[in-house]
Amino acid sequence: MTFSQTWLPFIYLYGVGGIAFLLGTLLIYKTKALRINYESHKKWFWVLFYGYFFYASVHALFIYLAIGSSY
């Protein structure tokens, strides 16, 4: 399998998508829409990052397993 079948889509997804995610998080933080000093908002802050890494981990795991699999 080639790089464009395996890791390139992953890098593009979490690179370009990651820029949108980080810019969005930064914007809500800077505008005080998200206030880290509020206990409930602090939990949401971690949930947001958990979601990003959760999806990245699932995709990475399946790519890794597919590369090592036989048919």
Partner 1 sequence: MENILGTNLDRVVILAYFAIVMGFGAYFGKYSKTTSDYFFGGRRFAWWLITISIVATGIGSHSFVKYSTKAYQYGFSSTMTYMNDWFFMPLFLFGWLPIIYYLRLGSIPEYFEKRFSREARYIATFMILMYMIGYIAIQFLTLATALYKIYGIPLMLTVVLIAIATTVYMHFGGQTSVIFTDLIQGFILIFAGILIFSLGLNYLAENTSYSSGLKALWDNLSPQEKLPLANFNDPPDFNFVGIFWQDGVAGSIGFLFLNQGLIMRFMAARSVNEGRKAAAFNVLFILPVSAIVVSNAGWIGKAISNSIPGALPLDLAPNDVFVSVANLIAAPGIFGFVIAALCAALMSTSDTLVNASSSVIINDVYRPLTNNKSSDKEQLRLARLASVLVKVIAVCLVPFFNSFESIYEAHGWFHSTFTPPLVVGVFLGIFWKRFTSSAVIATFIVGAFLMILGQMYPSLISPFSHGIELRPDRGYSYIGALYNLFVCAGVGVLVTFFTKPNPESKLVGLTVFDVHKLKNIFKGSKPNEDKGQAVNVSWDLKEFDEDIISFSKQEMKLMKAKEGDLVYLQDSRWWLGGLKSIHSIFGKPHNQNGVVYINKSHLESGMFEHGLFLKGEKEM
User: Which parts of this chain interact with partner 1 (CB under 8 A)?
Assistant: 1, 4-6, 8-10, 12-13, 16-18, 20-21, 24-25, 27-28, 31-35, 38, 40, 44, 47-48, 51-52, 54-55, 58-59, 62-63, 65-67, 69-71
Q: Give CA separation, 36 vs 6, 23, 60, in Å.
A: 37, 16, 30
- CB under 8 Å to 70, separation ≥6 — which residues? none
Report which secondary-structure segment, H or E, holds 51: helix 39-67
Distance of closest approach, residue 48 Cβ to partner 1, in angstroms: 5
Distance of closest approach, residue 25 Cβ to partner 1, in angstroms: 4
